[in-house]
């Protein structure tokens, strides 16, 4: 990875931080997209201590807000004209329904729209690399996910944590497969990964109603180091240089759910995401739930 630039979102804790550290140790320059300045500073210190003397940097912003996701991506694009690997790892799970300033349900905004916006804003930079990769962290929870296009923001149905989360993870795989289709014939590949049930800060933030999960996390979850293995493997393995549109579990390509393989659903999700981004970009104020409900 010497001489290569890797952009990672969600890299100040858990598998993202482990992946960033391993890639930095292998010689890569790391650019972090982070929300918390103190955690970003600690991660940068860790990266500087493990690898060669390259300039690792952090770009701060709340990726759940579309304007900030766009700004963060543009700042990264300016700092790295050529990007070799983009890892979309930012994500969260929320015990209660929350709405972003854009009027989007928080799980959908952070787990899907953030990666959609950042990826599309950095495509030109990725295309400048001899061979570039986009890796998106999904989950086997996508197998129970349902995407209701008449209520993507769960404003009409009763909100449940795992309904919102599993739907967002389904979005990750659908987005990856549609992106791979659109990138056919280019030097850029796109794949999704399931890191496993990982014991990280992910399940410790805003636990609330999820407190009952804590014993399960402590009992069954794997370490961040083990969880990051598939993420790093798909990002760097020479054997995967031309592999695109796949879903990886334990470093092996496996079939995702039937819905995740439906190209018509993936295409429709892309169109909806594009329209949400376009509406948000054209407004100085919130997209508004009244507008978003049509999706």
Task: Round to whole Å and give the CA distance between 273 and 172.
Answer: 12
**Residues 134/88, Cβ–Cβ less than 8 Å:** yes
Is 203 one of the annotated active-site residues of the chain? no
Task: Round to whole Å and give the CA distance between 191 and 136.
Answer: 6
Task: Round to whole Å and give the CA distance between 219 and 207.
Answer: 17
Contacts of 19 (CB under 8 A, 6+ apart): 8, 11, 87, 89, 228, 231, 232, 235
Q: Which two tokens stand for residue 87?
A: 């890892």
Q: Spot the catalytic one: 159, 165, 203, 247.
A: 165
Nearest of 15, 144, 25, 160 to residue 90 by alpha carbon: 15
Q: H or E element: which one contains 5?
A: strand 5-9
Using CA atoms, how far residue 71 sits from 74, 87, 118, 262, in Å, is 5, 17, 9, 32
Instruction: Tell me which residues are annotated as active site.
Output: 165
């Amino acid at each position: 990875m010497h001489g290569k630039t890797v952009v990672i979102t969600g890299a100040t804790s858990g598998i993202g931080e482990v992946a960033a550290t391993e890639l930095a140790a292998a010689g890569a320059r790391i650019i972090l997209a982070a929300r918390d300045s103190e955690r970003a500073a600690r991660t940068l210190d860790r990266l500087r201590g493990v690898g060669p003397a390259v300039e690792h940097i952090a770009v701060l912003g709340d990726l759940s807000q579309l304007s900030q996701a766009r700004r963060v991506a543009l700042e990264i694009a300016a700092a790295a004209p050529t990007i070799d690997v983009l890892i979309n790892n930012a994500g969260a799970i929320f015990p209660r329904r929350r709405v972003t300033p854009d009027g989007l349900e928080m799980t959908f905004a952070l787990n899907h729209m953030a990666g959609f916006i950042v990826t599309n804003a950095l495509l030109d930079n990725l295309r400048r690399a001899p061979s570039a990769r986009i890796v998106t962290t999904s989950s086997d929870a996508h197998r129970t996910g349902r995407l209701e296009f008449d209520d993507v923001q769960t404003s009409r149905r009763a909100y449940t944590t795992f309904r919102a989360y599993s739907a967002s993870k389904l979005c990750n795989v659908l987005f990856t497969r549609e992106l791979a289709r659109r990138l056919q014939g280019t030097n850029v590949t796109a794949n999704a990964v399931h890191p496993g049930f990982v014991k990280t800060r992910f399940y410790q933030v805003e636990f609330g109603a999820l407190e009952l999960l804590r014993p399960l996390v402590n009992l069954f979850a794997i370490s961040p180091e083990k969880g990051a293995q598939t993420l790093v493997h798909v990002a760097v393995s020479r054997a995967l240089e031309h592999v695109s549109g796949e879903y990886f579990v334990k470093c092996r390509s496996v079939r995702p759910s039937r819905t995740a393989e439906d190209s018509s659903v993936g295409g429709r999700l892309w169109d909806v995401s594009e329209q949400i981004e376009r509406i948000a970009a054209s407004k100085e104020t919130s997209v508004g739930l009244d507008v978003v409900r049509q999706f």
